[in-house]
Structure 1
Amino acid sequence: MTAGTRPEVLHLYRQIFRIARKWQAASGLMEETIKEREYIVDEARKLFHRNKQITDVAMIKECTEECKARIEIGLHYRNPYPRPIHLPPLGLALPHSKVFRAQEKLRKQAKPVYLKSYDEIS
């Protein structure tokens, strides 16, 4: 992390924890609220910890944009969980076929900005 990006990253990190502290589940149930608050905190810690060794300014910028997008989407839809990815047409090829590589490329292109930190497996 460079000196120029550090304040922005720390601001986002603090903002996420403030949001988690004030979060109310859309259903209004306390159990769901607690579960969603824990998810927000755990997800933030996991992703920030995973990305803390990044030093490339462009990559840091991409990660902060992803973070901002997830914050906005979560606040707008009142749902802290990532939205599902649209699978392109014919996106379910057999893993052994030639079409699989091309469709894998399509899947990567279809991945929205707010899910760039996730691997294909997670």
Structure 2
Amino acid sequence: MSFDDPMSWLGGWEGYRVETIQRREGEQPEVWVFLGFQPGAALICDGCGEAADAVHDIECRVVRDLPILDATTFVSVPRRRVACPRCGPRLERLSWLARYARVTTRLAESV
């Protein structure tokens, strides 16, 4: 966590950085956090745990996270499929988001 970057205080999204945050008012307020890739982050295959050298493709996913300021929080995360030399195209391993999860690990653990 960087004290120079208040956006990083929200995170815990290893391998990613906050690009934009939007608050949407309504009957149930929402906070949308848009993530981008952290430069230099290692690409690790979710299948075998080995490092990969290349990205096969990228798909954007939206998952829920812990509430921020009493607002339902959604995180838009670009998920990479790595070109693993051992397994072929596999999702990148993320400590904070399971393979097909619709919520972050910390939200799942808080319930």
* TM-score calculated relative to the size of structure 1: 0.26
The structure where helix makes up a greater share of residues is: 1
* Bigger radius of gyration: 1
Structure scoring higher RCO (CA < 8 A, sep ≥ 6) equals 1
